[in-house]
Structure 1
């Protein structure tokens, strides 16, 4: 049964963030708020947690395309190939924000991402995921709770989210109602920004 933890969106309680990080380190799954929709997340280096995350989405892990949630661009060199200066400047001008950036995958990816040619990098403009990643010491793998192309009530209400995912995740963070518009996906693999999906973020 999922534990609901109420964390203030603008002034997150450190002891509660620590509890979330402890759960992630022990292989747990969380649902957390972002600057767009609520999302599912797990420890990017825990293969069993990654498999649980894929199972919720009814996917084989090898087919899953989970975003990598960072708190800044400091982890790019670990997860992506070297980035040209203009692309780096573009990224810096858009983060934190409601964007997911598709970049060429690096060679030091976690096991669950091995074989991927590209990765999706995201830095949400929200204190809670930023603090989680900072305290965890590395990014988390993530996918939205929103059904594709469908706006549904439960995806914005943390209490309804907790009911739906009650036996699938370990913690649901409640920081109030979320948005129902996902992030804008931008492909940067060619060096020129190409919008793959228009979401909340405007170029």
Structure 2
């Protein structure tokens, strides 16, 4: 019964591929052409999560709209919506708590992005990098290396269109998918 309630607020757009083995809790909206791998976790505790079109969320990635450190779930708290734009990639084992993520960003394997970070567009957070400051990351910024060095690239990362197309064809052959919700219809 608890698993049924966990899925109650989940809205999956037509054209999205969301594997049953993923964990999605709370008020979560997933846009079209978004792929959510098995074992990915999307958790909306402290407010809703809205994920745009064409995002790729890989295995063991964690996207969480959690409570700030000094707030407990039973205290008075104004819920804040986490908004994720289009064509973002969340690689294996990354963690994102950022409430605002623009378009064409890549959070690489095992990278962590904190709640007070705003990712604009075209940014890459390198493997194992932790960004947990209170800042707006400028467009096309690359954070990389053991020292989390920064530079600005001249072009945005290419959208993963071919990989999304491939996964949208292959994943349904090997995994059960969560049902999509057409607007205006209640799932039974």
TM-score range, shorter chain: under 0.3
Q: Identify the structure with the greater helix proportion.
A: 1
Say which structure is richer in strand: 2
Could you tell me the TM-score, scaled by structure 1's length?
A: 0.24
Q: TM-score, normalised by structure 2?
A: 0.25
- Bigger relative CO (Cα 8 Å, ≥ 6 apart): 1
